Structure 1
Amino acid sequence: MKRRHLMAAMAATMLAGRARASLNEPADLAEAAVSVWQAWKEVHLTPDGRVVDVLQQEASHSEGQGYGMVLASAFDDRDAFSRMFDWAELNLARRADGLLSWRWLPHLSDQVPDLNNASDGDLFYAWALLRGGRRWDDAGYMSRAVGIARALTETCIVRDPSDPDRLLLLPAAAGFVHDGAVTVNPSYYMPLAMRELADAAGADSLSRCARDGEELLARIASDGLVPDWIDVSADGWAPSVRLDSNTGYEALRVPLFLAWSGAVSHQAVLQAARAYDRTVRPGQPVPTVLEPVSGVVLETSPDDGYRALAGLVRCARDGGPGAEIPPFNPHQPYYPATLHLLALLAANKVLPECVPI
Structure 2
Amino acid sequence: MTRFLSFLFTLILVFPQASKGDDGCTWEVFKGRFVSPDGRVIDRVQENLSHSEGQGFAMLLATRHNDPGAFDLVWRWTRNNIQARKSDALFAWSWGERSPGKWGPIDLNNATDGDTLIAVALFEGAACWKKEEYRAYALEIIKSIQEHLVVERNGRLFLLPGYYGFVKNNGLILNPSYMIFPAYTIFAKYHEPGFWRKLRTDSLDILSKCTFTRLELPADWVFWGPEGPSVYADKNEVFGFEAIRVLLYLAWDHNIKALSKMGRMLDIVDGLGFIPCNVNLARNTVSLDEAPAGFYAVFARVAAEIGEKDKSRALWKKALERLALEKDNYYSFALCLLSKIDLKP
Does TM, scored on the shorter chain, surpass 0.5?
yes
Residues 83 and 301 from structure 1, CA distance in 2 versus in 1: closer, same or farther, beyond 3 angstroms? Answer: farther
CA distance in 2, matches of 1:66, 1:21: 23
Q: Alpha carbon RMSD of aligned pairs, Å?
A: 2.8
**Which position in structure 2 is the counterpart of 1:247?**
239
1:222 to partner: Cα distance: 6.5
| Structure 2 counterparts to residues 69-148 of structure 1, below 5 A | 69-95=59-85, 96-106=87-97, 108=99, 109=102, 111-148=104-141
1:303 to partner: Cα distance: 2.9
**Which position in structure 1 is the counterpart of 2:158?**
168
| Contact 2:222/2:230 (8 A) holds in 1 | yes
| Contact 1:118/1:171 (8 A) holds in 2 | yes
| Contact 1:225/1:293 (8 A) holds in 2 | no
1:147 to partner: Cα distance: 1.0
Answer yes or no: is 1:58 the counterpart of 2:48: yes
Aligned residue-pair number: 322
CA distance in 2, matches of 1:281, 1:46: 41
Once the two structures are superposed, what CA deviation does each residue of 1:142-186 show, in whole Å capped at 9, x if it has no partner? 1111111111010000013xxx21110000011101113110000
1:310 to partner: Cα distance: 1.6
State which of 332, 337, 342 in structure 1 corresponds to 2:333.
337
Q: Percent same amino acid at aligned positions?
A: 28
| Contact 2:220/2:240 (8 A) holds in 1 | yes
Once the two structures are superposed, what CA deviation does each residue of 1:330-349 show, in whole Å capped at 9, x if it has no partner? 72501110000000113xx6
SS at match of 2:172: strand
CA distance in 2, matches of 1:310, 1:321: 12
Residues 336 and 104 from structure 1, CA distance in 2 versus in 1: closer, same or farther, beyond 3 angstroms? Answer: same
In structure 1, list runs of 5 or more residues that go unmatched. Answer: 1-14, 351-357
SS at match of 1:111: strand
SS at match of 1:106: strand
Amino acid at match of 2:190: A
**Which position in structure 2 is the counterpart of 1:150?**
143
**If the length of structure 2 is used for normalisation, what is the TM-score?**
0.85
**Which position in structure 1 is the counterpart of 2:34?**
44
**Which position in structure 2 is the counterpart of 1:5?**
none
Amino acid at match of 2:341: L
In structure 2, list runs of 5 or more residues that go unmatched. Answer: none
SS at match of 1:46: coil
State which of 242, 266, 287 in structure 1 corresponds to 2:276.
287
**If the length of structure 1 is used for normalisation, what is the TM-score?**
0.82
| Contact 2:239/2:279 (8 A) holds in 1 | yes
CA distance in 1, matches of 2:266, 2:114: 27
